[in-house]
Amino acid sequence: MSELFPRKQVMGFVFSLILTAVALLVYFLDMPFTTGMTVLLITAFIQAALQLVVFMHAGETGDRGSIYTNLYYAIFIALVTVFGTLLTMIWGYI
Amino acid sequence: MKIDNSLPLEYSTGQNQINILGFWIFIGAEIMLFGTLFAAYFTLVDRTGNGPTGADIFEIAPLLIETFVLLTSSFTIGLAIHAMRLGKQKAMMTFFGITLLLGLVFLSVEIFEFNHFYHVGAGLQTSAFTAILLTTLGTHGAHVTFGLFWGLSIVLQVRKRGLTPETANKSFIFSLYWHFLDVVWIFIFSFIYLKGLM
């Protein structure tokens, strides 16, 4: 039975629960906005990375290089889109 | 067809490896899809007009259920793939079943939540904020709905044909999709709900 619950994945799950709990502190502790956003940014990106590496087996085979290149490219373009939009639509007018 | 037995079943043929790489490229496009939705959300979040703001309509209880259910389902689909690699088809089917069941719970709570939004006066046409909110949440929810049917058809196929390089490959690709939906939810949870409630 225990072979069905590999240590790595159980630890990954526990860790992601902890990260979720930490993110929830933002709601329950009444933090200032900047502190809260910093906490959220850190927990969200760690948790996303955790999913990709532990559960999605991103670095397991010979295609590892292509998979990570594609992934970094997608994340880069998405971040440029999000922050570029914020810059031109919101921050640029303040 | 050349089968390489040193690799897990889902990677065992050249076609399988290309399928998995191809799906990663699709996930890249999906990241971009949700990236544009988030960009639009952050732009429009304060354009509430006469409608409610996020803090007015978000509720913590359904959010907690959705988050923990989806997080757990991402864990169980990981266990399903692990069981598949051990060749334990029965355990794999059990974990797959639990995953789909949790997906169904998530979707039910989300539908309940949408109903709640509608009743407190946050429809698709209320304001720019509610429009982009429901579009972003709805796009994620539509992906989960699609995933439920996809996952169900894979369960049926594995039950009929057993674990072959093809069915193992399909199951693995489904697990990638499901984990990806969980990643998207983490960002929705953090930057739509918690940011709105803060």
Nearest to B79 among A9, A66, A90 (CB): A9
Nearest to B78 among A9, A66, A78 (CB): A9
Exposed, middle or buried by CB within 10 Å (0-12, 13-18, 19+), for B80?
A: buried
Whether residues A4 and A43 fall in one domain: yes
Q: A57-78 pLDDT, tens per residue? A: 777 777 888 888 999 999 999 9
Task: Give the residue from chain B lying closest to A75, CA to CA.
Answer: B31
Axis-axis angle for helices B128-161, B14-44 (nearest 10): 160
Model pLDDT, residue B2: 66
How high is the ipTM of this complex?
A: 0.91
Domains, chain B, in order of start with CATH, read: 9-29+59-197 (1.20.120.80)
Residues in chain A within 8 Å Cβ distance of B129: none
Could you say which DSSP state residue A53 is in? I
Whether residues A67 and A90 fall in one domain: yes
Nearest to B24 among A13, A55, A71 (CB): A71
Whether residues A7 and A45 fall in one domain: yes
Model pLDDT, residue B59: 92
Is B35 in contact with A82 (Cβ distance < 8 A)? Answer: yes
Whether residues A43 and A66 fall in one domain: no
Model pLDDT, residue B83: 93
Residues in chain B within 8 Å Cβ distance of A61: 7, 11, 17, 20
Which segments in chain A show pLDDT lower than 70? 1, 94
A-B interface: how many C-beta pairs under 8 angstroms?
Answer: 135
Segments forming the whole domain that contains residue A67: 61-94
Is A86 in contact with B42 (Cβ distance < 8 A)? Answer: yes
Is B179 in contact with A13 (Cβ distance < 8 A)? Answer: no
Whether residues A68 and A46 fall in one domain: no
Model pLDDT, residue B84: 92
Number of domains in chain A: 2
Nearest to B28 among A63, A73, A82 (CB): A73
Task: Give the residue from chain A lying closest to B198, CA to CA.
Answer: A27
Closest CA to B122 of B48, B71, B41: B48
In whole angstroms, give the CA distance from residue B48 to residue B165: 52
Whether residues A30 and A72 fall in one domain: no
Whether residues A7 and A36 fall in one domain: yes
* Full pLDDT tens readout for chain B, 198 residues: 566 777 788 888 888 889 999 999 999 999 999 999 999 999 999 999 899 999 999 999 999 999 999 999 999 999 999 999 899 999 999 999 999 999 999 999 999 999 999 999 999 999 999 999 999 999 999 999 999 999 999 999 999 999 999 999 999 999 999 999 999 999 999 999 999 988
Whether residues A50 and A65 fall in one domain: no
A residues 20-79 closer than 8 Å to B (CB): 20, 23-24, 26-27, 31, 33, 36-37, 40-41, 43-44, 47-48, 51-52, 54-58, 61-63, 66-67, 70-71, 73-75, 77-79
B58 contacts B197 by C-beta, under 8 angstroms: yes
Q: What's the pTM?
A: 0.93
| Structure tokens given for B133 | 């909110």
Whether residues A27 and A46 fall in one domain: yes
With H, G, I as helix, E, B as strand and everything else as coil, classify residue B167.
helix
Cα B196 to the center of its chain, rounded Å = 22
Whether residues A68 and A29 fall in one domain: no
Whether residues A51 and A73 fall in one domain: no
Whether residues A15 and A47 fall in one domain: yes
Task: Give the residue from chain A lying closest to B88, CA to CA.
Answer: A4
Residues in chain B within 8 Å Cβ distance of A4: 79, 82-83, 86, 88, 91
